[in-house]
A and B are shown apart, each in its own frame.
Chain A
C-alpha cells in the first residue's frame, strides 16, 4: 500500500465545483452564478439609468471632453503645460502632482516615524517623553487643521519676494517659495549621465558581492571608498573629458517675482510637512509595536555579543520587527496618498483640485471625472500595496518564515 496522499480528481468541472461551490457542491455554484448575475444586472441598471438621465437633461456625456482645450493655468507642473493644453493633459499634471507629494510625503513620514519610535523606546527619559508627546499631540488633531496651520505658519513666517532671504545670492526663500538655480543641459550631459548610471549599478554589484563575502567567508570588505570613486570620481573625470554636463540658470528678482531657476512652492512644502508629520505619528506607533513584538531576549543576546544598542537594533531587532511592521505600514502609506487630496484647501494643484475641481466645473461632467479620479486613487493604492506585499514577502522569505 502506498503512503502517498490521494490526488484530487483532475477534471475541470470538478475543480470549478470545488472553487465556486465549496462544500455546497453544485448548489453552491448555482448560488454563486445567480449572485454574479444580480451584481451584473445592478451595474447595468446604474449605467443605463445614468445614461438615460443624462440624455434626458441634455447633460454632455462621454470622454470626448478630455481632448478639449482646458484654458486655465496650474502653478506647479512637472511636465510642460500651458492654458492651451487639453483636459487630458490637466489630468496627467494633477496626477503627477499627487504622486510627487505622496512619494516625498511617504519618504519623510517613514524617516520621522522611525526616529520618533526609537525616541519613545529610548531609555533616555527626556527623549522618550518627547516621542510620547509628539505622538499624542499629532495623531489626536485633525489633519485639515494641521495642514492649514502649516500653510498659514509657513506663509506668515516668510517675507515677500522683495525682502526674500538670500542664500549666497543664488537661492532665495520668500512667501513665493524657495527658488534655486535650475540645471540646463550642456553637450557633456549624456556621457555624464551614462557614467553616473554605470557607477550606481557597479556600486550595487559591489555591495551584493561584499555581503556575500561577509555571510559566506566572514570577510569584511570596506566598500565605501570604491563607491565614492564610482559615483563621484568617475563622472567628474568624464566632465574633464567631455566638458561640463550642465550649467545653472540663476534666479533673478524681476518685478513681483523671481524669473529663472526652479521653484518649490509653499503649498507643496506645507502639504508635505503636514502629511509626513501626521502620518509619522501613526508610523511611530506601528514601529514601536513591531520592535516590542520581538522578544527582549534578542536584545540581550545582542548585548551579550558586545554589540552596541544601535547595532543590535539595526542588525537583529528591526529585521525581525519588519515582519510585523510592514502590513500596517502599508495602510499608513495608502492613507497618506488619499489624504493628499486635502490639498485643495491650501491651493496645491493636486488631482482633486485641478481635475475633480476645476475641470469638473468647467465641463460639468461629474460622473466621468469623479469616476476617473476614483479609479486613479484605487490604482495608486493597489500599486502601493502590491509593492509593500512584495517587500513583506521578501522579508518573510529572508527570515525563513
Chain B
C-alpha cells in the first residue's frame, strides 16, 4: 500500500494530475469510455466482487447509476479497489473520478483533502462486535479490552474518544486492511472488533461461525457515508450529487425498475419533470433528458438498491432505520427536481 501512495504522491508532485484536476471530468470520462470508480477492497453489501467477479453493493450501485446516466450502460465502470488509507490519495491524484467507498463525511475531510462529499448514501454509526462467549452485553463493559481496528479510518479516533470519555482503558491493534483486521479478531488477538455497524454485520458473514458473535447495541458515533469528488469541477459534483437524489426521488414517487417505462408516459407534471418528458434538467447537468429513466431502469431506485444489497433481500438483512425516506421516519431526503 505504501507503494501506491508513493506513486500517487509522485504523480501529484510532478503534475500528471494537473489535467484531471481541471473542470473536465465529464468530458474525460466520455473520452475514456468508462467511469473510474474507487471502491473498497471487499466489504459485502457495499462494494465486493461476487462469485463471478462482478462488483456488487450499495456503493457500487452509485457508480453503476452514474455510468447509466452518462453512457446508458451501467457496466461501463472501471472499479479501483482502494484501502482505507490510500483512498483520498487516489482521488486527489485523479486516478479515480469518484470515490464511492463507505467513507464518512467529516469536516476535516471535506475541507482539507481537496475533495467534496456529494451526499449521504448510507447513514451509519460505529459499533462493536464481540464473541458471545465473553458474556458482554454493553460497550461500557469493555474496560481493558483489546480492540482490532482498520487503520486510516474515523473509527480509530472515535474509539479513542469513547474509551477516554468513559474512563476505560483499552489496547488498540490497527491493521492495514479490513481482511487482516477480521482475521486478527477471529484468531483471538482482540476481544472486540469495531467499525461502522453496517460493516460489522457485513464482516460477521465472513467469520467461520457468525452466530458466535454479537454486535453490541451501542452506536458511538455518527458515520454518514457518501461519495466524494475532487474540488474544482462543479458540474461533475452536481452530477454525482443529483444521481443519488434521482434515486431517492424515484423511490419517493414510487417509480421503480419495473414501472419506469409506464411512468414515463404519465401526464402528472411532477413525473414529467423528473422523467424528462418536460423540461431539460438532465441537459443542464450535462447529461440527457431521460437521465432519471436510465438510472432507475438499469440500476433501480434507492429502495431497490438498498434492499438488494444490504436490506431484507440480502444476507446482511439490515433494517432501513435512519436510511428510510424522510416521510417514513428516516433521514433520506432529496431536494425537488424542478
Q: How far apart sit A71 and B159, CA to CA, in the bound complex (Å)?
A: 9
Stretch at the interface among B2-10, B270-278, B328-336: B2-10
List residues of chain B with CB within 8 A of the CB of A367. 9, 12-13
Residue A74 at the chain B interface, CB threshold 8 Å: yes
In A107-122, the 8 Å CB interface with B consists of none
Do B144 and A361 have beta carbons less than 8 Å apart?
A: no
Taking a contact as CB atoms closer than 8 A, the residue among A60, A266, A347 that contacts B180 in the complex is: A347
Do B21 and A71 have beta carbons less than 8 Å apart?
A: no
Q: List 12 A-B contacts (CB under 8 A).
A: A47-B13, A49-B15, A50-B13, A83-B160, A155-B184, A160-B188, A175-B188, A255-B144, A257-B171, A354-B174, A364-B88, A364-B109
Stretch at the interface among B26-34, B70-78, B149-157: B149-157
Question: Whose C-beta in chain B lies nearest to the C-beta of A152?
Answer: B187
Do B172 and A73 have beta carbons less than 8 Å apart?
A: yes
List residues of chain B with CB within 8 A of the CB of A72. 156-157, 159-160, 172, 174
Taking a contact as CB atoms closer than 8 A, the residue among A53, A156, A256, A353 that contacts B191 in the complex is: A256
List residues of chain A with CB within 8 A of the CB of B50. none
In A218-260, the 8 Å CB interface with B consists of 254-257, 259
Additional A-B contact list (12), CB under 8 Å, known A344-B151, A344-B175, A347-B184: A50-B14, A53-B15, A71-B157, A73-B156, A75-B173, A176-B171, A256-B145, A344-B2, A358-B85, A360-B152, A364-B112, A370-B5
Taking a contact as CB atoms closer than 8 A, the residue among B89, B153, B176 that contacts A344 in the complex is: B176
Minimum distance in angstroms from A188 CB to a CB of chain B: 31
List residues of chain B with CB within 8 A of the CB of A256. 134, 142-146, 191
Q: How far apart sit A160 and B157, CA to CA, in the bound complex (Å)?
A: 27
Minimum distance in angstroms from B20 CB to a CB of chain A: 10
Taking a contact as CB atoms closer than 8 A, the residue among B2, B84, B184 that contacts A361 in the complex is: B84
Do A71 and B160 have beta carbons less than 8 Å apart?
A: yes
Minimum distance in angstroms from A210 CB to a CB of chain B: 49
Do A155 and B187 have beta carbons less than 8 Å apart?
A: yes
Q: How far apart sit A307 and B112, CA to CA, in the bound complex (Å)?
A: 71
Q: How far apart sit A354 and B176, CA to CA, in the bound complex (Å)?
A: 10
Do B232 and A71 have beta carbons less than 8 Å apart?
A: no
Residue A56 at the chain B interface, CB threshold 8 Å: yes
Interface residues, chain B, CB within 8 Å of chain A? 1-2, 5-6, 8-9, 12-15, 17-18, 21, 84-85, 87-89, 92, 108-109, 111-115, 134, 142-146, 148, 151-153, 156-157, 159-161, 164, 169-176, 180-181, 183-184, 187-189, 191, 230-232
List residues of chain B with CB within 8 A of the CB of A265. 173
Minimum distance in angstroms from A58 CB to a CB of chain B: 5
Taking a contact as CB atoms closer than 8 A, the residue among B13, B148, B231 that contacts A46 in the complex is: B13
Do A155 and B85 have beta carbons less than 8 Å apart?
A: no
Do B144 and A259 have beta carbons less than 8 Å apart?
A: yes
Residue A385 at the chain B interface, CB threshold 8 Å: no
Do B174 and A352 have beta carbons less than 8 Å apart?
A: no
Chain A 344-379 per-residue mask, 1 if CB under 8 angstroms from chain B, else 0: 111101001110111011111111001000000000
Interface residues, chain A, CB within 8 Å of chain B? 46-47, 49-50, 53-54, 56-60, 71-75, 83, 152, 155-156, 160, 175-176, 254-257, 259, 265-267, 341, 344-347, 349, 352-354, 356-358, 360-367, 370
List residues of chain B with CB within 8 A of the CB of A345. 175-176, 180
List residues of chain A with CB within 8 A of the CB of B113. 59-60, 364
List residues of chain B with CB within 8 A of the CB of A267. 173
Do A341 and B172 have beta carbons less than 8 Å apart?
A: no
Q: How far apart sit A56 and B12, CA to CA, in the bound complex (Å)?
A: 12
Interface-centre pick from B152, B173, B230 (highest chain A CB count, 10 A) = B173
List residues of chain B with CB within 8 A of the CB of A53. 12, 15, 17-18, 21
Q: How far apart sit A210 and B92, CA to CA, in the bound complex (Å)?
A: 66
Minimum distance in angstroms from B331 CB to a CB of chain A: 26
Do B112 and A341 have beta carbons less than 8 Å apart?
A: no
Given contacts A72-B156, A75-B173, A266-B189, contact A60 B112 (CB under 8 A): yes
Do B14 and A49 have beta carbons less than 8 Å apart?
A: yes
List residues of chain B with CB within 8 A of the CB of A357. 1, 85, 151-152, 174, 176
Q: How far apart sit A83 and B164, CA to CA, in the bound complex (Å)?
A: 9
Q: How far apart sit A361 and B90, CA to CA, in the bound complex (Å)?
A: 12
Question: Whose C-beta in chain A lies nearest to the C-beta of B15?
Answer: A49
Given contacts A53-B15, A57-B21, A257-B171, contact A73 B160 (CB under 8 A): yes
Q: How far apart sit A192 and B12, CA to CA, in the bound complex (Å)?
A: 56
Minimum distance in angstroms from A207 CB to a CB of chain B: 43
Do A71 and B12 have beta carbons less than 8 Å apart?
A: no
List residues of chain A with CB within 8 A of the CB of B111. 58
- Top 7 A-B pairs ranked by shortest CB distance? A361-B152, A57-B114, A59-B114, A83-B160, A60-B112, A72-B156, A361-B85
Do A75 and B12 have beta carbons less than 8 Å apart?
A: no
Q: How far apart sit A155 and B5, CA to CA, in the bound complex (Å)?
A: 30
List residues of chain B with CB within 8 A of the CB of A257. 144-146, 171
List residues of chain B with CB within 8 A of the CB of A364. 88-89, 92, 109, 112-114
Q: How far apart sit A57 and B89, CA to CA, in the bound complex (Å)?
A: 12
Taking a contact as CB atoms closer than 8 A, the residue among A50, A57, A349, A358 that contacts B152 in the complex is: A358
Minimum distance in angstroms from A375 CB to a CB of chain B: 13
Do A366 and B8 have beta carbons less than 8 Å apart?
A: yes
List residues of chain B with CB within 8 A of the CB of A152. 183, 187
Do A366 and B160 have beta carbons less than 8 Å apart?
A: no
Given contacts A53-B12, A74-B172, contact A255 B188 (CB under 8 A): no
Do A73 and B159 have beta carbons less than 8 Å apart?
A: yes
Do B89 and A56 have beta carbons less than 8 Å apart?
A: no
Q: How far apart sit A365 and B21, CA to CA, in the bound complex (Å)?
A: 17
List residues of chain A with CB within 8 A of the CB of B13. 46-47, 49-50, 367
Q: How far apart sit A58 and B191, CA to CA, in the bound complex (Å)?
A: 41
Taking a contact as CB atoms closer than 8 A, the residue among B18, B134, B156 that contacts A358 in the complex is: B156
Interface-centre pick from A46, A49, A57, A358 (highest chain B CB count, 10 A) = A57
Q: How far apart sit A131 and B114, CA to CA, in the bound complex (Å)?
A: 55
List residues of chain B with CB within 8 A of the CB of A353. 151, 174, 176
Taking a contact as CB atoms closer than 8 A, the residue among A58, A75, A341 that contacts B171 in the complex is: A75
Do A57 and B231 have beta carbons less than 8 Å apart?
A: yes
List residues of chain A with CB within 8 A of the CB of B142. 256
Minimum distance in angstroms from B113 CB to a CB of chain A: 4
Question: Whose C-beta in chain A lies nearest to the C-beta of B160?
Answer: A83
List residues of chain A with CB within 8 A of the CB of B188. 155, 160, 175
Minimum distance in angstroms from B5 CB to a CB of chain A: 6
